[in-house]
């Protein structure tokens, strides 16, 4: 589908909607480019299937569609070249809930868990809430590119008795799509030091055209030490449904996870919340490809206009761009500067890690018009500061 046709049909003006992102924008008189959801409505066949379900009025106990698992498995086989077995799949109420349940069930109190910063804040918060210890291994930043610091990781595996590594793949907020070689080197270290990998892959359907997503479980050698968190919530903007999968090939780990779910009464999927995922996997591929194109175009436009003035991550996946305002930042935090000077609401860099006060995370899953508005106001800020 052509981008212009897609935007005409699917862009939603959410400025007066109940949307979390836009409600805060309204309150602060800002263009909201924070929270990670999209300003696009679902594919029309998905909306119709959901309307039909609602219209039928049958709201009793309901099973998942009979071919739910097959549809899920086929999607990931086709898009990500990874094969999941039905009995590996468990359900949770969203991805953060999945992290919480995995950390609780697969590690012990006070265990050390590694994260690679800067990183989406709920990773750290989950470790802390579960009474585990956070071990940070900051990503190395070289020539505009973030990557793992294997020496630091190994040193901390050796000295801090790390039991789990929580990986964000693709990475939020850096938009990195980890290369196969990077993951192999990382997983080899994890294997050597008996560290479990919990890989959050909720951004894996938003991959820029020159990139290949490598799912953690496609590296078969490491499957038994790896658990993946998989959802359609970012791919198709389904956050309100809180439906997520945890895929666990290793029987021992899976049994621990299932026991935890049974003890905490969290074992079953909510069939209504699962329907949007199911219908999108059936009908949504063309829509998703069009969304990927819109994001890629938005990114290129922004980079072309602002790239000479400030550093930004090379967007490989997700729709989240990490941008360094550098000397144009006139406040303690670049996010405050964007609110005050540009009327843009972004996520503050410092919420992802120490030392990122000059950075912001911008959400590009919106219309090119909104991105242009944001770019124009940042250019105005640049011009003012240059005087």
Ligand X SMILES: Cc1ncc(COP(=O)(O)O)c(C=O)c1O
Interface with ligand X (CB under 6 A):
36, 94-96, 120, 168, 172, 200, 202, 231, 233, 239, 242, 244
Q: How many CB atoms lie within 10 A of CB 40?
A: 22
Rounded to a whole number of angstroms, the minimum distance from the CB of residue 174 to ligand X is: 11
Residue number with the smallest Cβ distance to ligand X: 94
Contact 181, 209 (CB under 8 A): no
Asked if residue 222 lies in contact with residue 187, where contact means CB atoms within 8 angstroms, the answer is yes
Closest separation in Å from C-beta 196 to ligand X: 18
Q: Is 200 exposed, middle or buried (0-12, 13-18, 19+ CB in 10 A)?
A: buried
Nearer to ligand X, 3 or 20 (CB): 20
Q: φ, ψ for residue 292 (rounded to 5)?
A: -55, -40
Shortest separation between residue 200's beta carbon and ligand X, angstroms: 5
Residue number with CB closer to ligand X (37 or 111): 37
**How far is the C-alpha of 173 from the C-alpha of 119, rounded, in Å?**
6
Angle at 379 between CA 335 and CA 291, to 5 degrees: 75
Q: How far apart are CA 9 and CA 289, in angstroms?
A: 15
> Quick one: 120 or 281, whose CB is closer to ligand X?
120
Q: At closest approach, how far in Å is the CB of 300 from ligand X?
A: 22
- Compute the least distance from the CB of residue 237 to ligand X, in Å: 11
Question: Distance between alpha carbon 201 and the CA centroid of its chain, in Å?
Answer: 7
Q: How far is the CB of 243 from ligand X (least distance, A)?
A: 8
CB-nearer residue toward ligand X: 22 or 328? 22
Can you read off the two tokens belonging to residue 384?
């003012």
Question: Minimum CB separation from ligand X for residue 360, in Å?
Answer: 15
Name which of 233 and 298 has its Cβ closer to ligand X.
233
Cβ closest to ligand X, residue 276 vs residue 310 = 276
Our CB check for ligand X shows the closer of 244 and 253 to be: 244
Residues contacting residue 218 through CB under 8 Å, at least 6 positions apart: 80, 81, 82
Q: Could you tell me the smallest distance in angstroms from the CB atom of residue 330 to ligand X? A: 28
Instruction: Specify the residue, 345 or 381, whose C-beta has the smaller distance to ligand X.
Output: 345
CB of 167 to ligand X, least distance (A): 10
Nearer to ligand X, 121 or 138 (CB): 121
């Amino acid at each position: 589908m052509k981008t212009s046709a897609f935007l005409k049909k699917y862009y939603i003006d959410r400025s007066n909607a109940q949307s979390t992102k836009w409600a805060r924008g309204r309150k602060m008189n800002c263009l909201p480019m924070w929270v990670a959801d999209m300003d696009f409505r679902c594919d029309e066949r998905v909306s119709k299937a959901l309307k039909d379900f609602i219209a039928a009025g049958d709201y009793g106990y309901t099973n998942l569609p009979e071919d739910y698992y097959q549809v899920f498995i086929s999607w990931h086989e086709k898009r990500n070249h990874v094969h999941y077995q039905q009995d590996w799949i468990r359900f949770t109420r969203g991805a953060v809930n999945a992290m919480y349940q995995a950390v609780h069930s697969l590690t012990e109190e006070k265990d050390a868990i590694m994260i690679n910063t800067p990183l989406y804040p709920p990773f750290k918060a989950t470790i802390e809430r579960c009474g585990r210890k956070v071990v940070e291994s900051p990503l190395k930043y070289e020539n505009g590119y973030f990557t793992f610091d294997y020496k630091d990781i190994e040193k901390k595996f050796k000295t801090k008795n790390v039991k789990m590594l929580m990986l964000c793949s693709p990475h939020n907020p850096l938009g990195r799509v980890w290369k196969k070689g990077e993951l192999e080197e990382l997983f080899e270290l994890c294997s050597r030091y008996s560290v479990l990998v919990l890989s959050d892959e909720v951004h894996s359907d938003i991959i820029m055209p020159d990139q290949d997503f490598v799912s953690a479980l496609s590296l078969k050698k490491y499957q038994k030490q790896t658990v993946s968190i998989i959802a359609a919530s970012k791919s198709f903007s389904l956050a309100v449904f809180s439906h997520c999968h945890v895929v666990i090939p290793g029987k021992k780990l899976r049994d621990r996870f299932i026991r935890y779910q049974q003890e905490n009464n969290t074992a079953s999927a909510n069939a209504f919340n699962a329907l949007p995922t199911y219908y999108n996997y059936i009908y949504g591929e063309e829509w998703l490809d069009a969304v990927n194109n819109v994001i890629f175009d938005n990114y290129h436009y922004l980079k072309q206009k602002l790239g000479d003035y400030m550093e930004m991550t090379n967007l490989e996946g997700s729709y989240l761009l990490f941008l360094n305002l550098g000397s144009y930042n006139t406040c303690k935090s670049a996010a405050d500067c964007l609110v005050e000077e540009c009327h843009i609401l972004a996520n503050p860099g410092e919420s992802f890690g120490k030392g990122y006060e000059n950075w912001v995370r911008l959400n590009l899953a919106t219309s090119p018009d909104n991105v242009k508005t944001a770019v124009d106001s940042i250019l105005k800020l640049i011009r003012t500061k240059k005087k």
